[in-house]
Every structure is written in structure tokens, then in C-alpha cells.
Structure 1
């Protein structure tokens, strides 16, 4: 059995008392203190996450745009310098290999960020689709560190050694950087890429840094942030945060058996605005079967939450299955996402969740469950 990989920050996590879990072949911190404390810190101040298990690919070369237009379900020509886009890489049948974030990180280069558990699948698909294009694909080994929460920008601004550099900033400052955009900064003598993106439903930043500098940057962020309420946060709180924000998790809400429209992500795929032929396009242009399950949100009362795999019932009929569920730390009641039959997917529809033999009433609701104050 292969031992899980570790990030450059593993020793820091261990020293902070983290509990670890195997996630996508990586030994990652699941929590440091308590799931609830870390969750609430992100909602009220900030959390510090190691996300170095994510897969990073650089794309360049003369035909980089044509290549990405074919390989992914998005239009790279519409992506301006420094801007990022949420997109997908699909199978020829229209199923989802992975959801991605693509950033035009330089005039002549794109950065593609994929999920840890899909690293091999994404790499294989990207390499296979290179054939016939004068483009280059490079797998990067940078570390990724995320600061998420309402005080995230303030923390970055007070981090020792992290400084603005006009030659890297692509016209932005931390004060003006838009959501889903990136800018270069300098940490010590090295350039880092700071993206205003995240997976928590809060404002925040994800920083790509040379792995050799990961520990120094982590320590500097922690030193700056702890007086402002920053805490190290693990995968458990990251999961409840993204669930509250209605963000899909691959292997739960997304898979090769699901097309984007079923997961409420049809808008992500530019069938009407993108003219290029991309892998999966023809399958998506065909109508999704009328009885194909669709993703909905479910809310219920009490404290017993539906979990992944639990049946969703309408009367005596099983009409779906929970994909993710938890007792929401922020809202104080159970929430879940589920794929259900289209006929019972309208908000306000009353359904039941089979929670270990007990029927718990749940109401269909629009996603997300939680939206941060602007």
C-alpha cells in the first residue's frame, strides 16, 4: 500500500497538534482544535488552510488558447490578464472529470488548478488533448496556502515580507483586486501569485508559493493573523463551510456520471457563446433526459442531519439520495445537498430523509444555504 504524500507544511501541522486524514492520496490536517471552532473562525475572522494537495498545471505555447478551448469547457479568449474562471474538464459523454479554476497568470500563460483526488485523471486528459496543438503543459510543484474569512485582506496586508511589486501586480493592489482575479506579489526575493478565490463562501485569498518558502509564508501569515483571530483550519471545517455555501465537492455532487446541467452548473459551460468544439460539447448539446436527477438543497429542523448516501423519500417512493449533509454550524439546523427526481425539485417541496430508519422532514430550498454579507 502506497503511503500518503505530504505537503511542505506537514511538520508545521504536526507541531500545531493537527489530526490527519488521507485525502486524495495526501496526508492532510482534518482539524487542529475543533471543527466548530475552526468553522466559526472562518465566518467571523479568518482561517489558514494548507491546500498544497491541489494539482497545478501551467499552460503556454503559441496555441495555448486553441488548446484550452478544445480541452476544457470554457473560452480562454474571453479571459483577460489576471482574471480567473471556474470551469470543467469533461468526458466525451459530457460527464465531469473535474471542476477547475483557470487563471490567465501572464499574457502568455494560464494556470489550471485541479482537485487533489483527480490529479492523475486531469493530467492524463490534458496530455491526451495536447495532440495536434503547439502548446506546452507543465505540472507545477508550488505550495498553495489559503487565507479565508472577513479579515483575510487585512491579514495579508500585515504579513511581514509579503509586499506589493508594481512589476508583478498586473494593475492590482490588495485593496482593488476583484473576486476571481489574481495578482503577483513578492515574498522575500520570490514572486508569489495571490488569487482572490476560495472554497468557503467567505472573502479570501489563495497564494501560490515556491514549496521551499511555504513554511516561512505560513509562519508569517500566522504571526500577522493570530491577533486578528486567524486560526489554522483543517478539511473538516472546509467541508462544512463549502456545504453552507452550496459549493459542490467532486465525488459527491460531481462525477463522470453527472453532466453540468444536472448539478445546476449549466451556466458554466458556454454552449451559446463559445464557438469552438470542445470535448463533451456534442453530448451536452443533446437534451438531458427529462427524468435525470437534479441537485437541490434540503433544510430540516432539529439536530439530526442527513449524510451522503441517505435516501430521500416522497411518500413511500425513493426519489433521490443525499450527496452531502451536516448540521450547519452557522445556521444551527441540518442542511444537505441531494440529487432528486425533477418532479420534486421545486423550492418549497416537502420531502423526507431516511436517517437510519427515522424519517426526517426536509424542505427543498435554493442554493446556497449561506451567503456572506457584502
Structure 2
């Protein structure tokens, strides 16, 4: 099906492609609708309305109201007569429904009298769309209908996109305008390039600094009002903030505060959708422009001086500031450079005032370098009352041009929050890093000696269903899917054509035409869908990550714990019967309990299981497992201890042991590429055969002398030349020594080879090491098999 000329395309000019700045045709608006959620948008007579299903098989309910309160699907040329049941449920269940409810209440529309229509009722392929034209002015409500998915099922509601081509465009209206406020703003300022605007904020209030059109820097400073009243200037000090936070700039989480030179916290970061800013230098200055041959150029420091003069704040030649969205970088010689900002239209930071403040924000006027992408644009500043509630989040996108997603809490988040406040962002979710009352070392030993429970919900899940499901999986992964039985699980790699890895993960076979891919990132799922579409396969690949949260129960006592609480029907294996890399479908306690899927898998090197369930059942399932496990010594485990376990057990991690330039053999998982055992072709096979015939690098274990733990990325040497790089390292509690994984040249990969790990500049400090087989611990995997 040919796409209409209204979908977004990446910005491109003179050979430069910028996927992060998608371009819509003139007069077209784009409105994402979350899976299971809804969205209300005003429409006008003559508007062209298009609904696109991105993943396929997603039914969409539409309701339209005219301004006089009438609801008739015929007003957009659709067939009505349907009760919008999915929309009514979404308004209650999904957070997006609250905005729709407010829109209905504001307009006085009665959803009980709504005339609904269903789009894609007979199924849809990825990318399918349906178009309508409005004959009235009114309100359009779009719902990507669908409820919670049971863990053994394979249909979850997914996102759709609403496009509206406006029949008339108001004169002078800019397509890129500031998005709607996060709440009712107390202050709403639009700052044009070359302006600096001061404003006061009370303790507890929120400040949103928003890049309206993308690629625009905004200098920010804040002064303690209490100190100003005493005649003291106490503003954000970048050096103090960097030192206390241990980071170039604060981010949402534990290390989120800005400090004065007196160590007084002034603000904290609550949300950040871009995460790339600057605290190396000053707001732009008159001297900077003059030295480049532009004397008299308007600059932020002079503007800040003028704006703050009414507050009695002394002028500065150059203002130290938090330069939001400014992209500076340090090279190996410590020279400071710059490039285009990373911010996209609508990106923002949200701060909370910790005391009464005088703040200043600018829209940088620089047009002589990449600081603003060569095109200065406007900044929006909004403040919100302290009674508002905003969750902590960091921006996340599946691809450079994808819609922004905020950091989520997993279904098990509140359960782990009982044990720690130390959460870190991981792949778009908050995960516990270390337990407050235990610490990583105690968590580690519990896994080795008793049992632990950990949150692995951010693992990406994709449902692969349809007549060509096996053919797609056979094409895209290195293992032989024809040999995978129903109820079986296999660990495998997924590669590009050149042999570099996209991801590693596990494939669950739930039926003859039903697979579930579980990997570390969304690129693997998107790659599966891309291959299915491009090759015309009769298969659907649909994301289900948010409908499958999972905890891992690992350790010698994991089986004894789970058998106390998990019931399986007669046709399914019991917990005790479940074999290694097998799954069973069960319920908590008995026939009427919450459903779950149990797999005998893990990432610890110990006997272990993973429990998958819908978020709505997560707390009940966690509490039952906790009640059974705590008396046996089970404790929660965070990412810090998990890293210790997986390095000892030789388990690889994306970005450490592999990336898209590393093949599975170089990543240490050559066993997952059965070139002789799998006769069918698969993506990357030819390249992998050539690479295997002429290996260049090999992943090896290292035992290091002394007690210094290398840093991933440290160079590995034989004398002067570098022959490899450390990928992961840890001081092993159970082995009592420092160990590492390293990718080295095959000429120096034999066990017993003496190597040196370079520190500082790689030459001035060397850590002596010996190549050893890996895994360092339990190399025959007897513990994973339960043979203690």
C-alpha cells in the first residue's frame, strides 16, 4: 500500500540526514496514541484524518462530536452504530484517558451517547492506514483499544498514530509550536533568540525549560532569594555541583541536585528528555564573538547582566551557567569542542526549586557556529505549582526519530522500593542498583548460597505470530528454530548482514506458529518487523514489553521457594519437573490464581527461574514469592551485584562484550552459531562463515595480579603494542581475586599467555594479567543445572 504524502520524513539537506528532526508536510499534525490509551484532538470542517497502525493487528475506535453535542460517525465519513466500549475502559484504566475526560467535560459532550466506529476491525498489517474527512467542526477521540494481556497470550495493544492535514492553516502559524503544558502553568514565557528573562520561583515549585524547535541552547542560572535579601549572591556553582554529584551535570535520580559554593542545594532535576548539556564553560560572551570577528554581537552574558540589574546582582564579563541543550565535548588532549545540540523539538528539563529563587533563562543568539545548529530559535519557560506531581524520568527513544518515552516504573518497582531508594535508569526503566539494608556483597553471597529475587522487566519482549513465524525467526537468529519444540527456549544471537551483533536473547516457543523474542534492546524487535515487512512474510511482530514484567528468582534454593507458590495444570511441567531452558504456564497458588509463565532461565550462573506476569498481578505474585523465600534467606538483588555474578559466570552484556562491530564468536558465544548444525541460510551467515575461517579477535578470561580492578575499555598490551581491550572486570568474592573478560587478538589468546592491562595513558601504569579460560566460575555450568 502506497503511503499518503503526510507521514513524517527525516530532515535532509545537502547530503546531511538528521533523523532526530522529522519533517511533516505543511499543514499536517502528528498525534501519537498509546496502546490501550486514547487521545482527543479538535477537528475542523475539511480536515483530512488518517490513522496509521504501526505494528499491525491493532483495532482503533473513533468517536467524533460536533460542537452542538451530536455524535455521528458519518460526520467523518465512517460507518457508525458501535458502542465505544474500548474507549470507555481506556478512560478509566489508562493515564492518557484523563486528558480525554477533561476535554469531554470542558466541551460538555456525553460519551454515553457517542456513536463509535471501529477501524481495522478485520485485521491490519504494519503500516496500514485509514483516512477520513471531517464535515464538521468538533472533537475527535481516537482509542487504540485493548486491555491487559495475559502472560501466556500474544496480543497486546500497541501504539497508533493520528495524522491530521488541516483544511485551513491560520496565517503566520508556525508548525512547530511549544507542546501543551505539563499542568496549568503559573508562568508561561516564550523567549526569543537574543533575550534573557528573569523570573521568581517559590520553594517546591517546578520549572520547565523547553526547546520548542530543537537544537537551541538555553543558559540558566538561579540565585538563593534568601541570600540576596542578605546582600549575598549565591547562585548555582557548576564546579561545586559537578564535584558533589560526581557527574558533569545532574540527572533525575539520586544525583539530581544543583549546589552553591556553600554547598546549599538550590534545585533538583526531576525530568530530562535529552540528557546532553554543558557545564564546562560560560554563557556566550561579548569577547567570544569579538575574538571571532563579530564585535557587538548580541550575547547571553550581557543580556543576563541587564536582566538581573533590577535585583542588584553585579554584572559579570561572562556568566557561569547551566547551558541546557548545549553540546560540548572534550577530546583526548582535553580541548573543548562543540557540535549541534542533541535536543529535538519539544525536549525539556523539569526542575524543582528547593528554596525561594530568582532565576534567569535565555535563548542563545549564536548563529556563527553549531551551538544552535546554525539557526537560533525560541525557548519556552513554564513554572508549575508545588502541588503538582511529576514522576522522575529520563527521555528514551527506540530510534532517533521515534516518539519520546519517559522512564517507567516496572510492575515490580514498588515491591523493590520497600528495600532501597537506590534506583538507576536502565533502558527506559528504573531498576534497583543496590539494596539499602544489604549492599551488593551480601546480595551476591545470597545468590551463591541461598536465593535472590531481581527485577528484569526492562528486557524487551516481542510476540512473533502467524504462519511464517518460524520462517522469520529461522532467518533472523543464528540458532535452528526448526529444532526448537513447543515449550522450549533457546539462547541465540541476532546479527546484521556483515556479522555484527544486533542483540543476544532467548526465543520462547509457545506454539507451532507462536514465538516470543526476549532481548536486551528494541533494535532486535524492530529488526524482526523490518525483515517481515520487507520480505512480505505472513507474520506479525508486536511489542509486549509493558505487558510482561518479570522477576528472576536465582540461587540454590530457588526451586524450593517457587514450588511452594506456583501451580501448574496437569498438562504442564511442575516447578520440580521443569528442565533447563524450558517454560511452563501456571498460576499463583492454584487454578484461580493470577496467571504467569515460568522459565528455567537466568543471568546469574546459578540454578534459577524467571517469572513473567502482567503488571496488574506483579505485587501479588512478588508478595507470595517473598513470603515463601524470606524465611529461607532470600533477599532482593540489584544491578551492582548482578554484574558481579554475570562476569564470574562469563555471561556477556551488550555494549561490553558485544556491539554491532562484534560477531558472536568474538563475543564469546560461538556455541550459539551452529554453522554445521543449521543448514538453512540466515542473515549474516556468509559473513560469519568467513569470519570464523579467519578469526581476528577472541574473548578470553583474565586473572589479574594485585587488587586493582580494571575499567571496561582499558587497553590490553603485550609490551608496547595494544592487542585488545578489557570488556568487563570485577573483584570476585568467591574466587578471591580480580578477574576480567577481554577481547584480544587471537595470536595472544592462548591460556597462560601473560598480558598487561594499561592504565592512565596505557603506558605509565600496567596491571599484570594471565589469560585463562572463562567462565572463571563453574565452567561446566553444574550449578545452573542444579547439581550442587
* Partners of 2:561 and 2:629 within 8 A in 1: yes
Q: Residue in 1 aligned with 2:574?
A: 173
* Partners of 1:313 and 1:320 within 8 A in 2: yes
Deviations 1:66-95 (A, max 9, x none): 111112222211001211111111111111
Alignment of 1:25 onto 2:432: no
C-alpha distance in 2 between matches for 1:267 and 1:146: 24
Cα deviation for residue 289 of structure 1 reads: 7.8
Mean Cα deviation higher: 126-135 or 195-204: 126-135
C-alpha distance in 2 between matches for 1:149 and 1:183: 19
Q: Secondary structure at the match of 1:31?
A: coil
* Partners of 2:525 and 2:541 within 8 A in 1: no
Cα deviation for residue 173 of structure 1 reads: 1.9
C-alpha distance in 2 between matches for 1:203 and 1:53: 21
C-alpha distance in 2 between matches for 1:158 and 1:134: 42
Alignment of 1:122 onto 2:524: yes
Shift of the 278–289 alpha-carbon distance from structure 1 to 2, 3 Å rule, reads: closer
Q: Secondary structure at the match of 2:751?
A: coil
* Partners of 1:326 and 1:335 within 8 A in 2: yes
Q: Secondary structure at the match of 1:303?
A: coil
Alignment of 1:300 onto 2:704: yes
Deviations 1:110-137 (A, max 9, x none): 121011xx22x11220111112211122
Alignment of 1:153 onto 2:556: no
Instruction: Determine which of 459, 462, 479 is the counterpart of 1:74.
Output: 479
Q: Secondary structure at the match of 1:22?
A: strand
Q: Secondary structure at the match of 2:470?
A: helix
Q: Residue in 1 aligned with 2:752?
A: 348
Instruction: Determine which of 122, 139, 143 is the counterpart of 2:549.
Output: 143
Cα deviation for residue 217 of structure 1 reads: 0.8
* Partners of 1:58 and 1:110 within 8 A in 2: yes
C-alpha distance in 1 between matches for 2:570 and 2:594: 14
C-alpha distance in 2 between matches for 1:41 and 1:86: 26
Specify the structure having the higher radius of gyration (Cα).
2
C-alpha distance in 1 between matches for 2:690 and 2:697: 16
Q: Secondary structure at the match of 1:262?
A: coil
Q: Residue in 2 aligned with 1:7?
A: 410
Instruction: Determine which of 563, 568, 586 is the counterpart of 1:185.
Output: 586
Deviations 1:306-347 (A, max 9, x none): 120111121222211100001112211000001111111000
Q: Secondary structure at the match of 2:601?
A: coil
Alignment of 1:46 onto 2:451: yes
* Partners of 2:470 and 2:513 within 8 A in 1: no
Instruction: Determine which of 507, 511, 532 is the counterpart of 1:102.
Output: 507
Q: Residue in 2 aligned with 1:360?
A: 767
Cα deviation for residue 290 of structure 1 reads: 4.4
Ranges in structure 1 where 5+ consecutive residues have no aligned partner: none
C-alpha distance in 2 between matches for 1:18 and 1:86: 33
Bigger RCO of structures 1 and 2 (CA < 8 A, at least 6 apart): 1
Deviations 1:248-304 (A, max 9, x none): 001100110001121232221132222222111121122458462211100123321
* Partners of 1:74 and 1:270 within 8 A in 2: yes
Alignment of 1:369 onto 2:771: no
Shift of the 291–98 alpha-carbon distance from structure 1 to 2, 3 Å rule, reads: closer
Q: Residue in 1 aligned with 2:736?
A: 332
Instruction: Give the length in aligned residue pairs.
Output: 366
C-alpha distance in 1 between matches for 2:432 and 2:501: 27
Q: Secondary structure at the match of 2:680?
A: coil
* Partners of 1:307 and 1:336 within 8 A in 2: no
Q: Secondary structure at the match of 2:621?
A: helix
C-alpha distance in 2 between matches for 1:208 and 1:184: 10
Instruction: Determine which of 207, 218, 221 is the counterpart of 2:622.
Output: 218
CA RMSD of superposed structures (Å): 1.6
Alignment of 1:256 onto 2:660: yes
C-alpha distance in 2 between matches for 1:279 and 1:291: 19
* Partners of 1:260 and 1:266 within 8 A in 2: yes
Q: Which has the larger helix fraction? A: 1
C-alpha distance in 2 between matches for 1:313 and 1:34: 34
Q: Residue in 2 aligned with 1:89?
A: 494
Ranges in structure 2 where 5+ consecutive residues have no aligned partner: 1-272, 274-394, 396-405
Deviations 1:95-121 (A, max 9, x none): 100001001123441121011xx22x1
Mean Cα deviation higher: 192-201 or 74-83: 74-83
* Partners of 1:305 and 1:355 within 8 A in 2: no
Q: Secondary structure at the match of 1:129?
A: helix
